[in-house]
């Protein structure tokens, strides 16, 4: 494994790589850095041509339609909120269910995603810790010990699997 910074440019790095892993951190910083370094387009092209990709947390946010359902604060401004769009939904990793009886006065993740749907209509998958989505070609599987919570405009439900009719 080698870091992206070890190559002269994104094209060289993507030619060398057999696949890609992008970890966590601030999604806005990641998106800005990927665009500025040329890796956004280079990784997108390589994955669409068949190279594997695995992302966690911020790296997972980059696989959906946009980064607008991240849990991160926008500490920098990327050139776009668009993500790679490899799956036809947004992902909210580290999804936490509202705690019944909680006296917390702030917004829950469910509330934030509902706010997102005031202006957007793409589905959002809330991935609980220990769960992930495996994509192979046009097939998608929800893996791990937990269900996912799928949010669509005016509808929320827990799902055990990913089906195209969710979109």
The reply to whether 51 and 123 lie within a common domain is no
The enclosing H or E element of 155 equals strand 155-159
Domain of 124 in residue numbering reads as 87-167
Predicted confidence at residue 164, as pLDDT, reads 60
The reply to whether 64 and 96 lie within a common domain is no
* Least reliable range by pLDDT among 5-19, 22-36, 89-103: 89-103
Pick 103 or 55 by higher pLDDT.
Answer: 55
Predicted confidence at residue 167, as pLDDT, reads 57
Q: What is the mean pLDDT of residues 77-104?
A: 93
Q: Determine the Cα–Cα distance for residues 24 and 93; give it in Å rounded to an integer.
A: 10
The reply to whether 109 and 66 lie within a common domain is no
Predicted confidence at residue 129, as pLDDT, reads 93
Per residue in 38-68, pLDDT (tens digit) is: 999 999 999 999 999 999 999 999 999 999 9
Q: What is the mean pLDDT of residues 90-102?
A: 91
Tell which of 25, 55, 86 closes a domain.
86
The reply to whether 75 and 143 lie within a common domain is no
The reply to whether 17 and 27 lie within a common domain is yes
Predicted confidence at residue 133, as pLDDT, reads 94
Tell which of 42, 65, 86 closes a domain.
86
| % of the chain with per-residue pLDDT over 70 | 97
Q: Is 57 a catalytic residue?
A: yes
Confidence of residue 107 (pLDDT cuts 50, 70, 90): confident
Q: Is 35 a catalytic residue?
A: no
Tell which of 65, 86, 107 closes a domain.
86
Q: For residue 19, which of 45, 62, 53 has the smallest C-alpha distance?
A: 53
Catalytic residue among 94, 131, 146, 166: 94
Predicted confidence at residue 72, as pLDDT, reads 96
Q: Is 102 a catalytic residue?
A: no
Cα separations in angstroms, 109 against 94, 131, 149, 167: 10, 17, 11, 20
- Counted domains in the chain: 2
Beta-strand pair 155-159/124-127: unpaired
CATH number of residue 36's parent domain: 3.40.50.880
Catalytic residue among 44, 57, 66, 117: 57
Mention every residue, 6+ apart, whose C-beta is less than 8 A from residue 88.
65, 122, 123, 167
The reply to whether 62 and 107 lie within a common domain is no
Predicted confidence at residue 137, as pLDDT, reads 84
Catalytic residue among 35, 37, 72, 146: 72
The reply to whether 82 and 21 lie within a common domain is yes
């Amino acid at each position: 494994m080698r870091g992206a910074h070890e190559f002269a440019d994104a094209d060289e790095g993507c030619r060398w790589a057999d696949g890609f892993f992008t970890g966590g951190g601030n999604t806005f910083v990641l998106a800005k850095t990927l665009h500025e370094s040329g890796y956004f387009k280079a990784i997108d092209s390589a994955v669409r041509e068949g190279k594997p990709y695995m992302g966690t947390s911020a790296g997972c946010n980059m696989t959906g339609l946009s980064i607008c359902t991240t849990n991160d604060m926008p500490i920098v401004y990327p050139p776009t909120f668009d993500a790679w769009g490899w799956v036809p939904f947004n992902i909210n990793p580290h999804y936490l269910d509202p705690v019944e009886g909680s006296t917390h006065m702030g917004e829950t993740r469910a509330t934030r995603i509902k706010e997102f749907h005031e202006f957007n209509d793409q589905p959002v998958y809330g991935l609980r810790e220990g769960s992930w989505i495996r994509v192979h070609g046009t097939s998608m599987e929800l893996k791990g010990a937990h269900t996912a919570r799928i949010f669509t405009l005016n509808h929320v439900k827990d799902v055990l699997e990913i089906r195209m009719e969710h979109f």
